[in-house]
Structure 1
Amino acid sequence: MKVEFSNKAKLPTRFGNFIIQGVREETQNGVFEHLVIFSNELLETPLVRVHSECLTGDVFGSLKCDCGGELALAMEQIAQSKQGGMLIYLRQEGRGIGLFNKVNAYALQDQGYDTIEANRALGLADDARNYDVVGEIFKHFGIKKIQLLTNNPHKIKWIEKYVDLERSSIIIESNCHNAHYLQVKKDKMGHLLEE
């Protein structure tokens, strides 16, 4: 894997003022471009959210998942953190299956499949994401310890390879469109969805 970092730029947002930097990851599977959004000052244990892209939730406000709500809450909490913080935005749409396959999985969910069953019916992994680039990002920033905003035990196992971490939950209120999805994340993927 080869990793390259862009120049830094200011990013004023509705949550607060951040710095943004692009990260280009070259692997045998292709070239991926990710983002790191961080506060001006990163202290010893910054608040970090590693967020995988969800175009439908993050941009279009889909109520089928909790992604857009988690992204907004993470940015709000990072902006307010006294330790400083960072959002690592990974371009791994649909838990790594891509946008095209995600829409096909959505169509199966409309027929009654849950998120795991839909992926499997399409011959895809339950979760195909890889977090190796996160380790390179932490190295680049000299980060050795973090407070990680996540409910995903799989993500915790990946990321604790690179830094010492404490987990903080990130709970979004469910709605009639995503209640079953959240229950499947809890029951079938072990997500820690209770405070």
Structure 2
Amino acid sequence: MTENSTAPLGVLGEKQDRRTGVERVVSAPLPTVYGMFQAIGFLDHDRGEEQVALVHGDLGTENVLTRLHSECLTGDAFGSRHCECGDQLAAALRAVVAEGAGVVLYLRGHEGRGIGLLAKLRAMALQAEGLDTVEANLALGLPVDARDYGVAAAMLRDLGVDSVRLMSNNPLKREALVRHGVGVAEQVPLLIPPCENNITYLRTKRERMDHHLPHLDAVAHWS
């Protein structure tokens, strides 16, 4: 970590990305089952959301192993098998510890690809009736993906990161970071073994949202 990780709260509170209104507020050590992290809290003044970066080791500036993890209460906290989000979060935290340095940005306000928790549950109910994840959002009059990654880019800039090795299967995340001025040196696959409950969801992400999920070919026997 840089010297800012141990700076007094008042000093951290003055560090703000004027382009986005993202302010670093606090930094605290966070021991986890995966390893030791520094939890750096940010306030997004534009959206009123609190964000956190989990940093392990000395990041440096280039080719930093990075995960932009969209908040998913059902997957991250409840262990839902409808998606692979909880497993991806755990895999990303393990990966940065194994690497010796890296960062996981936990992006709040991204629930349900940005439509919110209740709307996500409504979409899940429609999926249980036979719609896929894209059709369900559209049936509710909502965008397929409403997430914005400007705050993620601002957080990375605050951490001194110029380019990343991005742990993601989603090409839109790479495009968004580049558009916001953060280089992506490599897109690192984050492939989680599918299960019967999420195979249709994952196939939809591959076929309709261009996610890179080649491992799904091995489970063609599931309907």
- Structure 1 and Structure 2 fold alike (TM over 0.5): yes
The structural deviation recorded for 1:4 is 1.2
| Aligned residue runs from structure 1 range 62-73, under 5 A | 62-73=80-91
Aligned counterpart, 1:174: 194
- Residue of structure 1 equivalent to 2:106: 89
Structure 1 distance, partners of 2:33, 2:198, is: 25
In the alignment, which residue of structure 2 is the partner of 1:24?
Answer: 43
- Cα displacement string for residues 132-183 of structure 1 (whole angstroms, at most 9, x for unaligned residues): 0112112111111111000001111001232221110000000000000000
Greater Rg, structure 1 or structure 2? 2
2:66 alignment counterpart: 48
C-alpha distance in structure 2 between counterparts of 1:185 and 1:89, whole Å: 21
Aligned residue number for residue 76 of structure 1: 94
RMSD, aligned CA? 1.1
Match of 2:5 in 1: none
Distance 1:139 1:68 in 2: 26
Matched residue SS, 2:38: strand
The one-letter code of the counterpart of 1:90 is L
Distance 2:40 2:67 in 1: 15
Matched, 1:98 2:113: no
Pairs aligned (count): 192
Deviations 1:52-99 (A, max 9, x none): 0000000000000010110010000011113x1000010110100000
Unmatched segments (≥5 aa) in structure 2: 1-19, 216-223
Matches within 5 A, 1:138-157: 138-157=156-175
- The structure 2 residue matched to 1:187, chosen from 192, 207, 214, is 207
State the identity %. Answer: 41
Q: CA deviation at 1:33?
A: 1.2
Secondary structure of 2:52's counterpart equals strand
* Residue 163 (1) aligns with residue 161 (2): no
Matches of 1:73 and 1:65 in 2, distance apart? Answer: 14
Partner of 1:33: 50
Question: Which stretch shifts more, 101-110 or 41-50?
Answer: 41-50
Query: Shift of the alpha carbon at 1:32?
Result: 1.2
Separation in 1, partners of 2:176, 2:157: 15
CA distance in 2, matches of 1:23, 1:118: 32
Q: Could you list the runs of 5+ residues in structure 1 that have no partner in the other structure?
A: none
Aligned residue in 2 for 1:124: 142
Match of 1:108 in 2: 126
SS in 1 for 2:58: coil
CA contact (8 A) 2:26 2:42 kept: no
Q: Which amino acid aligns with 1:187?
A: E
Letter in 2 for 1:121: A
